[in-house]
Structure 1
Amino acid sequence: MTETPKPKILKTRVTLLEMTNRPVYSIPTPASFKLAIMSAKRISLPFYRFLYEQVGKPHHWFVHRTLSDEPLAALIHRDSVEIHVLYVDGSPAGFFELVLNQEPGVAEILYFGLVPEFQGRGLAKFFLSEAIATAWMSSPAKVIIETNTLDSPRALQMYQRMGFNPVGFADAEIEAWL
């Protein structure tokens, strides 16, 4: 009888950031690509899982990873959730997931990221600027986002440069995505 290996546990530091003022500027659209950002109304579960894995696996995203279809659909198909997909030259290159007014006056960028093949091409700041602008369209008092030390090493700095301020920290343990 073979024993199931125990999952590897990773320690991480989580930073909660918030933005309380709408940005007065936006990042210009990169001119070297054909780009489209499309809202995915009632995104199919296989496509969502594909995006979640492609973007989240290198960073060990875990919250939606093990959900079966029914609980996942209940989460991502809520009226308060918006999912937007970035396409670069026709290929899905990333996504962001917003949760709007689940807490009164708060818009949360729950997930944000690019598929690894599209990182390092000057797309992240533009795409984050679009996520922020979309979050502010719901007229919240603040926009929040979390990052942790398993995310891109540049994520925290980029969020701060875009106008987010750290407001809380926590240590967490996450099961590695093998």
Structure 2
Amino acid sequence: MTNEFGERAGPLLARITHLEMLSPPAHRVQMPMGPRLAVFRVRDMPPSFYRYLYREIGKAHHWMLRREDPDEHLSDIINAETAEIHVLYVDGCPAGFFELDFSSLPSQTEIIYFGLTPHYQGRGLSKFFLSEAIFAAWSHNPERLVIHTNTLDSPRALQLYQRMGFIPFAWSQEEVEPWL
């Protein structure tokens, strides 16, 4: 990222909100009517497809955890037995994904990533898709479910997570390299 003089800008400061859910919700959010929707758990995901979704969703928010991983390392992470990735399709097009981490079971499951591509944001899909992520996570019977958001994410993310039953339990800050 460059400033108005064409010089490379420094890191961004993100305030992170750490949230938890201590019991599963009573009900799933119903699938919205209108477009044809499908949610598939992806097995043996190619790194190129993961990178496509990660870039389309995460670039605007400067996601960084998986940005620089070599393909072999990325494949090991996303296809591990302790990971689960689900992709939302709208009328046949990939529209979003969530990634779950079960490596800390039985104490917790973490929603590592959750998001929709820009084309499908603002269409009333987030609440339904987050509900799918929550129920997929709770199906492994953790003691708690955690998710994190920060000030670089969508300004509506924190509100959505709280409406769905997550409660903030900690805050932190992190420097994030801008995604050019």
TM-score in terms of structure 1 length: 0.94
Deviation at 1:103, TM superposition (A): 4.6
Match of 2:73 among 71, 79, 85: 71
Match of 1:165 among 161, 164, 167: 167
Inter-partner Cα distance in structure 2 for 1:103 and 1:23: 19
Verify the 8 A CA contact 1:105 1:139 in the aligned structure 2: no
Partner of 1:124: 126
Match of 1:134 among 130, 136, 148: 136
Q: Which runs of 4+ in 1 moved over 2 A?
A: 5-8, 101-105
1:46-83 alpha-carbon deviations (Å, 9 max, x no partner): 00000000110010000100111122112111100000
SS in 2 for 1:33: coil
Deviation at 1:6, TM superposition (A): 4.4
Inter-partner Cα distance in structure 2 for 1:101 and 1:176: 28
Partner of 2:45: 43
TM-score in terms of structure 2 length: 0.93
Inter-partner Cα distance in structure 2 for 1:90 and 1:7: 39
Partner of 2:4: none
Number of residues paired by the alignment?
174
Greater displacement, 103-112 / 144-153: 103-112
Letter of the 2:56 counterpart: Q
Partner of 2:97: 95
SS in 2 for 1:57: helix
SS in 1 for 2:168: strand
Inter-partner Cα distance in structure 2 for 1:94 and 1:162: 18
Inter-partner Cα distance in structure 1 for 2:8 and 2:17: 27
Gapped regions of structure 1 (runs ≥ 5): none
Q: Aligned-pair RMSD on alpha carbons?
A: 1.1
Match of 1:104 among 94, 103, 106: 106
Deviation at 1:8, TM superposition (A): 3.3
Inter-partner Cα distance in structure 2 for 1:6 and 1:30: 43
Partner of 1:150: 152
Inter-partner Cα distance in structure 1 for 2:106 and 2:179: 33
